[in-house]
Structure 1
Amino acid sequence: MEYKIGYILINLAIMPKTSTNVRNRVNKLHLPKTKSLYPLFEVISNSIHAIEEAKKEKLIKDNGKIEINILRIGKEGIFEEISNTDDYPIDSFEIIDNGIGLNEDNYNSFQEFDSEYKIEIGGKGIGRLVCLKAFSALIINSCYLDKDKYWTRSFEFKKTIEGYSNYNEELSNDNRIGTNVLLKSYVSPYKENVPKSITDVSREIIKHFQLYFIQEKQPTIIIKNQDGFHRNLTKIFNSEFKSKILSDSFIIAEEKFNIHISKSFSAQSHKVNYCANERIVRSEGLSKHLVDLKYSILDSLRNEKFYYQVFVVSDLLDTSVNDARTSFNFPDKSENEDSEQIEVIEEVTLSKIRKKTINCIENLLSETLAVIRAEKVERYRPIIDNKFPNYTNLFKYKKEKVERLPVGLNENELDIKLYEIEAQWRKEIKQEGADLLTKKKDITELEDYKELYEKYVTNLNEVGKSDLARYVVHRRSVIDLLEKLIELNDDDKFANEDLVHSLFFPIRETDDSIFSEKQNLWLLDERLTFNKFLASDKLFKQIENLGSDSKERMDLIIKKEEVFDKAVLFSENKIPFESFTIVEFKRPERNDYVYGNPKNDPIAQVRRYIRETIDGETKKRGKKIQASFNTPFYCYVVADITSSLEYILDEESFINTPDGLGYFRIYDTNNYKAYIEVLPFSKVLKDSKERNRVLFERLNLPQ
Structure 2
Amino acid sequence: MIPHSSTNLRNRVNKLYLPKTKALYPLFEVISNSIHAIQERKNEIGDDFNGEIIIKSIRNGDEETLKQISDIEEYPINSFEITDNGIGLNDANLKSFAEFDSEKKAEIGGKGVGRLICLKAFSKLVIESTYKQNGHYKTRTFNYKKSKNGFDDYKDELAEHSNLGTQALLSSYDRKYEKFVPKSLMEIARQIVTHFQLYFIQGFEPTIIIKNQDETEINLTKLFNREFEKEILQDSFEISNQTFKIFISKSHKAQSHKIHYCAHERNVKDEGLSKHLEDLKYRIRNEEYEEGFYFQVFVVGDYLNKNVNEARTSFNFSTDEDDEELDFEEITLSKIRKSTIQSIENLLSEFLQKVRKDKLDGYFPIIKEEFPNYSSVINYNMEKVKKLPLGLSKHELDLKLYEIESEWKMEVKKEGIDLISKEKDITQLDDYKKLYDKFLTEFNEIGQSDLARYIVHRRSVIDLLERLIELNHEDKFANEDIVHSLFFPIKETSDTVSAEKQNLWLLDERLTFNSLLASDKLFKQVEDLNSDSAKRMDLIVKQGEVFENATLFSENKYPFESFTIVEFKRPERDDYKQGDRKKDPVKQVRTYIQEIVSGKEKIKGKRVEANRNTPFYCYIVADKTPSLEEIMEYESFIPTPDGLGYFRFYQTTNSTAYIEVLPFQKILKDARKRNKILFDSLKLS
**Is the Cα contact below 8 Å between 2:195 and 2:266 reproduced in 1?**
no
1:414 aligned residue: 397
1:51 aligned residue: 38
- Output aligned runs, 1:458-497, within 5 Å: 458-497=441-480
Partners of 2:587 and 2:609 in 1: CA distance? 23
1:305 match: secondary structure: coil
Distance 1:364 1:568, change over 3 A: same
Cα drift, residue 634 of structure 1: 1.5
Q: Is 1:434 paired with 2:417? A: yes
Cα offsets for 1:634-692 (capped at 9, x unmatched): 11100111111111111111122222211112224444332211111121122212222
Counterpart of 1:66 (choices 33, 37, 51) is: 51
- Output aligned runs, 1:137-536, within 5 Å: 143-151=130-138, 171=158, 177-178=164-165, 209-219=196-206, 244-332=231-319, 338-339=325-326, 343=328, 346-444=329-427, 447-536=430-519
Partners of 1:412 and 1:171 in 2: CA distance? 77
Q: Is 1:609 paired with 2:571? A: no
The one-letter code sitting in structure 2 at the alignment partner of 1:597 is D
Distance 1:282 1:544, change over 3 A: closer
2:63 aligned residue: none
Cα offsets for 1:558-608 (capped at 9, x unmatched): 122343344454444433333221111111121111111122111111122
Distance 1:549 1:107, change over 3 A: closer
Partners of 1:69 and 1:281 in 2: CA distance? 24
The one-letter code sitting in structure 1 at the alignment partner of 2:339 is K
**Is the Cα contact below 8 Å between 2:227 and 2:253 reproduced in 1?**
no
Cα offsets for 1:105-140 (capped at 9, x unmatched): 989999xxxxxx998489579999x9xxxxxxxxx9
Cα drift, residue 246 of structure 1: 0.9
Partners of 1:643 and 1:337 in 2: CA distance? 70
**Is the Cα contact below 8 Å between 1:334 and 1:347 reproduced in 2?**
no
Partners of 1:335 and 1:221 in 2: CA distance? 40
2:61 aligned residue: none
Partners of 1:63 and 1:398 in 2: CA distance? 57
Cα drift, residue 236 of structure 1: 11
2:87 aligned residue: 100
Partners of 2:428 and 2:155 in 1: CA distance? 93
Distance 1:239 1:504, change over 3 A: closer
Cα drift, residue 323 of structure 1: 1.9
Cα offsets for 1:193-218 (capped at 9, x unmatched): 889xxxxx999997775311333433
1:535 match: secondary structure: strand
Q: Which has the larger radius of gyration?
A: 1
Distance 1:411 1:242, change over 3 A: closer
Cα offsets for 1:204-236 (capped at 9, x unmatched): 99777531133343347899xxxxxxxx99999
Counterpart of 2:534 (choices 535, 551, 569) is: 551
The one-letter code sitting in structure 1 at the alignment partner of 2:406 is A
Distance 1:233 1:650, change over 3 A: closer
TM-score (norm 2): 0.76
Partners of 2:235 and 2:114 in 1: CA distance? 29
Aligned length: 618
Partners of 2:616 and 2:678 in 1: CA distance? 31
Cα drift, residue 534 of structure 1: 4.1
1:532 match: secondary structure: coil
Q: Is 1:624 paired with 2:607? A: yes
**Is the Cα contact below 8 Å between 2:623 and 2:663 reproduced in 1?**
yes
Cα offsets for 1:444-463 (capped at 9, x unmatched): 56544432222111111111
- 521-530 or 536-545: bigger deviation: 536-545
**Is the Cα contact below 8 Å between 2:26 and 2:117 reproduced in 1?**
no
Counterpart of 1:542 (choices 516, 520, 525) is: 525
The one-letter code sitting in structure 1 at the alignment partner of 2:45 is I
Distance 1:606 1:241, change over 3 A: closer
Cα drift, residue 42 of structure 1: 9.7
1:686 aligned residue: 669
Q: Is 1:564 paired with 2:547? A: yes
Distance 1:672 1:320, change over 3 A: closer
Cα drift, residue 53 of structure 1: 3.6
RMSD, aligned α-carbons: 4.9
The one-letter code sitting in structure 2 at the alignment partner of 1:99 is G
Distance 1:646 1:280, change over 3 A: same
The one-letter code sitting in structure 2 at the alignment partner of 1:539 is L
**Is the Cα contact below 8 Å between 1:443 and 1:449 reproduced in 2?**
no
**Is the Cα contact below 8 Å between 1:63 and 1:218 reproduced in 2?**
no
Partners of 1:449 and 1:43 in 2: CA distance? 65
Partners of 1:601 and 1:632 in 2: CA distance? 22
Partners of 1:403 and 1:469 in 2: CA distance? 22
**Is the Cα contact below 8 Å between 1:63 and 1:219 reproduced in 2?**
no
Partners of 2:492 and 2:227 in 1: CA distance? 73
Percent of paired sites with the same residue: 61
1:661 aligned residue: 644
Partners of 2:191 and 2:295 in 1: CA distance? 17
The one-letter code sitting in structure 1 at the alignment partner of 2:490 is I
Partners of 2:521 and 2:185 in 1: CA distance? 81
**Is the Cα contact below 8 Å between 2:490 and 2:520 reproduced in 1?**
yes
**Is the Cα contact below 8 Å between 2:229 and 2:251 reproduced in 1?**
no
Q: Is 1:634 paired with 2:617? A: yes
Cα drift, residue 466 of structure 1: 1.5
2:675 match: secondary structure: helix
Cα drift, residue 144 of structure 1: 2.3
**Is the Cα contact below 8 Å between 2:54 and 2:208 reproduced in 1?**
no
**Is the Cα contact below 8 Å between 2:561 and 2:615 reproduced in 1?**
yes
2:358 match: secondary structure: helix
Partners of 1:481 and 1:335 in 2: CA distance? 42
1:427 match: secondary structure: helix
Distance 1:570 1:302, change over 3 A: same
The one-letter code sitting in structure 2 at the alignment partner of 1:625 is V
1:583 aligned residue: 566
- 488-497 or 604-613: bigger deviation: 488-497
2:88 match: secondary structure: coil
**Is the Cα contact below 8 Å between 2:372 and 2:682 reproduced in 1?**
yes
Partners of 2:354 and 2:666 in 1: CA distance? 49
Partners of 1:281 and 1:204 in 2: CA distance? 13
2:279 match: secondary structure: coil
The one-letter code sitting in structure 1 at the alignment partner of 2:47 is D
**Is the Cα contact below 8 Å between 1:67 and 1:95 reproduced in 2?**
no
